[in-house]
């Protein structure tokens, strides 16, 4: 009966959201490698130092198409007999010659329980904006031989950005709920003729809610299956991404489906403690349908906190991190 109630609540939660429109907080394929970037509560989740980087080339074949770089570094530590996490994260989003940047500090308070750890996270950072990601669109490409182009309105400003989240992390799974852009940073569109900010049109980055859930189904000592779900919703937008990942000691791979977009294939391997991954998106709907797909590379390194010198961790690939 309890499982039936949980499923009913989940279906009601999903059905309440309208279709996707905006592009702020654009999704990535291998999101579990940088899930701390989308939820500060995952900062310091394990007794490790974690360094992650992700590069995404969006919509190949479209002129000025977005490229995104995400980095994250965090670790756990003990202070006053309490467990904490601290880290930094950021991104650079590029569209042609335009750049949007974020640099942020993260903190989490970790509360041990009998079934895992509960995390409470905060993030504060500075956004440096040059274009409006939420108002971007793809134009051109109608005439024979012409190339579609990614177009975005120019903006200018440095804005404070605040995020918060809560998460649970156990040996065989995790769940996290985060609220990004809590302060809804505001900015103005640049006037094309005067190269000045227009007083007639002020926009803001809407607060978005991110829910990530994953579970580790161990089939044997060296083989596991990890189903994962990522739900993003905000003002008039929603996006659901479902993933099934197979993991062995050195290799992993799987597929994802993303609502109103398409599906993805991905794989990764571990070499001397470094996890190197690749993902490819085939877009069947939305703006990406006019492209030749999207490509993504990830690099992640884990080492025990306080023992950074020499220690391989092949067993880490079998766990959700």
Give the C-alpha separation, 249 to 46, whole Å. 18
What the block records as the tokens of 289 is 């349908």
301 to each of 30, 34, 83, 311, 317, how far by Cα in Å? 15, 12, 22, 12, 11
- Report pLDDT for 304: 75
> For residue 101, is pLDDT > 70?
yes
What the block records as the tokens of 283 is 């877009």
Domain boundaries, the chain: 2-318
pLDDT one-digit tens code per residue, 292-320: 999 999 999 988 765 444 444 444 444 44
Please tell me the pTM assigned to this model: 0.85
The CATH topology of domain 2-318 is: Porin (2.40.160)
Q: Between 157 and 275, name the one with better pLDDT.
A: 275
| 3-class DSSP state of 32 | helix
Taking the CA atoms of residue 295, residue 179, residue 108 and residue 29 in that order, the dihedral angle to the nearest 10 degrees is -10
Q: Between 26 and 38, name the one with better pLDDT.
A: 38
| 3-class DSSP state of 24 | coil
Percent of the chain with pLDDT over 90: 64
| Pair 36, 43: CB distance under 8 Å | yes
What's the rounded mean pLDDT across residues 233-251? 93
Give the C-alpha separation, 317 to 321, whole Å. 8
């Amino acid at each position: 009966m309890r499982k039936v109630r949980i499923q009913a609540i989940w279906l009601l939660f999903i059905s309440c959201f309208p279709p996707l429109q905006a592009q702020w907080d654009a999704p990535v394929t291998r999101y579990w490698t940088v899930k701390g970037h989308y939820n500060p509560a995952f900062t310091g989740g394990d007794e490790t130092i974690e360094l992650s980087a992700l590069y995404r080339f969006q919509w190949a074949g479209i002129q000025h198409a977005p490229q995104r770089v995400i980095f994250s570094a965090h670790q756990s530590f003990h202070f006053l007999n309490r467990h904490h996490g601290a880290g930094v994260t950021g991104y650079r989003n590029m569209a042609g010659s335009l750049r949007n940047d974020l640099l942020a500090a993260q903190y989490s308070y970790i509360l041990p329980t009998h079934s895992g750890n509960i995390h409470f996270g905060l993030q504060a950072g500075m956004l440096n904006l040059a274009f409006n990601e939420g108002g971007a669109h793809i134009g051109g490409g109608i005439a024979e031989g012409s190339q579609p182009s990614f177009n975005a309105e120019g903006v200018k400003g440095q804005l404070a950005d605040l995020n918060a989240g809560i998460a649970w992390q156990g040996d065989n799974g995790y769940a996290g709920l985060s609220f990004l852009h809590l302060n809804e940073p505001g900015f103005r569109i640049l006037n094309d003729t005067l190269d000045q900010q227009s007083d007639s049109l002020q926009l803001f980055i809407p607060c978005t809610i991110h829910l990530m859930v994953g579970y580790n189904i161990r089939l044997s000592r060296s083989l596991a299956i990890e189903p994962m779900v990522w739900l993003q919703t905000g003002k008039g937008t929603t996006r659901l991404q479902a993933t099934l990942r197979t993991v062995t000691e050195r290799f992993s791979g799987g597929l994802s489906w993303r609502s109103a977009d398409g599906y993805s294939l991905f794989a990764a391997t571990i070499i001397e403690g470094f996890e190197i991954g690749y993902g490819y998106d085939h877009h069947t709907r939305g703006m990406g349908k006019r492209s030749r797909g999207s490509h993504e590379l990830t690099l992640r390194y884990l080492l025990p906190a306080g023992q950074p010198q020499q220690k391989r961790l092949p067993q880490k690939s079998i766990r959700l991190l």
